[in-house]
Structure 1
């Protein structure tokens, strides 16, 4: 699952975080999600989610270091998986430097990842989670190049998933870098690799009952390795004028072969 939960802004009216947190966490528990990548999560929200998701452990740090700034946390079922490795790097020219901002980005941006082993099957995989910059065009381009390179280096021979709010449409150049076969370490888009597609064909709603006419996907779950994608579901989290977030969550059913 990938979900931009929308940071806890006091200016969101009926869609403030305190009105949405139970809805989101109840949905995660009900759907029995195995691994979840979330974006725009501040420390208070992380605590709210952790308290409401007792079957899960999480990994992550704030993009400004420690508990400061937004996290890209990863939640995983603690009874199903063993955590073998975890870390965070920054989408910048100095990926190991905490709080580093890349290129023309408005804000520091991070990638958090885990290496997990399935206790039952023994299969090992990596799971990366990120949030690309919303303003910097060069930052998104260079972030795509860096992410494909780093994911390949880190995961090695193991299969991996990449979740996130990429702030990219499928027609954009950074998306092509992420998914084009002549790019080293390119990814596959889960949406394009199954005929079992459910829910809206866009992910950003902006808390609008009638979203903008240029509705497109900007949130994705990518993958690489010997993985079969069974279903792709954009969760239509809307009840009248109330929303689960300003982005619809994405759920993918997949099998690691």
Structure 2
């Protein structure tokens, strides 16, 4: 009986892991390729083990290869943070590594940590886009107070934003979010705040792309608040969080949603691949080609 149980469990895990090593299709012509990636934080005062500095040295090549394979024009990151208790916030190993390895990209929604939270940068192609504006707001009762704790007092969570101008003159607003994972009420209030902050842009008929880790399914109440505000979520098949083992137990919690005159050229794709023999993160990247005209 124990052997049968073990075999059944193994079968479930193999089924959950799903296909590996399938490259993303080439970008559609005359579109903007947008992606989101929870990159997982790095613990600066931890030399070995999960998510340590040593672990980062081991996986950073895979992070760069995964980034290159996305071939995205715009990509928003969550948890792109290097921290230790008492750290001043000026160190960001993953952001600086990727920018160094990919000089064709710039980081929007990033700045001096004392006035701009830099753990959710939005990368964009330098030769295609001009950064017109960038901003942030925290999911709290005081959203314009930097690093203010979330509604129930847990760790700070926020949205980062950029306003980009394509070389053809098209304006695209991107809001990059990371909702708190433990508290459902927190997520509902966070979604409501995003809806409120984006409402003027949507009412003006502007193009708005929402990307990020909402820690909720597309059919959840959290997502419904954003749908009611005018966002359309792109269908995303299968898991986007995989426990850093390629184990896919539930539906997507990382999403791309669109408002205004934006349409998907194809369904969103999920980058379920190892690179350099490693998973870049415990989340898969989600990517979609968007028509802006």
One fold, TM greater than 0.5?
yes
Unaligned runs of 5+ in 1: 192-196
CA contact (8 A) 1:62 1:71 kept: no
| Cα distance, 1:123 vs structure 2 | 0.7
Unaligned runs of 5+ in 2: 1-34, 82-91
CA contact (8 A) 1:7 1:17 kept: no
Equivalence for 2:74: 35
Cα distance in 2 for residues equivalent to 1:23 and 1:79: 25
Cα distance in 2 for residues equivalent to 1:66 and 1:172: 33
Greater Rg, structure 1 or structure 2? 2
2:192 aligned to which of 120, 135, 145: 145
CA contact (8 A) 1:61 1:88 kept: no
Equivalence for 2:36: 2
Cα distance in 2 for residues equivalent to 1:100 and 1:164: 20
Secondary structure of the 1:117 match is: strand
Equivalence for 2:240: 203
Give a deviation string over 1:64-112, Cα, whole Å, max 9, x none: 74577x6111001111011111111111122111111221152111111
Secondary structure of the 2:58 match is: helix
Give a deviation string over 1:170-227, Cα, whole Å, max 9, x none: 3421122122xxx3x2311022xxxxx7xx6110001124344xx1110001110111
Alignment of 1:21-100 (within 5 A): 21-42=60-81, 43-61=92-110, 65-66=114-115, 71-100=119-148
Equivalence for 1:11: 49
Structure number with higher relative contact order (C-alpha < 8 Å, ≥ 6 residues apart)? 2
Secondary structure of the 1:178 match is: helix
2:215 aligned to which of 159, 167, 172: 167
Cα distance in 1 for residues equivalent to 2:128 and 2:194: 27
Cα distance in 2 for residues equivalent to 1:241 and 1:13: 16
More strand by share: 1
1:189 aligned to which of 233, 239, 245: 233
1:157 aligned to which of 202, 205, 208: 205
- Higher mean alpha-carbon deviation, 25-34 vs 103-112, is at 25-34
Alignment pair present for 1:238 and 2:282: no
| Cα distance, 1:240 vs structure 2 | 10
CA contact (8 A) 1:140 1:174 kept: yes
CA contact (8 A) 2:109 2:162 kept: no
Cα distance in 2 for residues equivalent to 1:36 and 1:201: 20
CA contact (8 A) 2:66 2:280 kept: no
* TM-score, L = length of structure 2: 0.75
Cα distance in 1 for residues equivalent to 2:233 and 2:254: 11
* TM-score, L = length of structure 1: 0.85
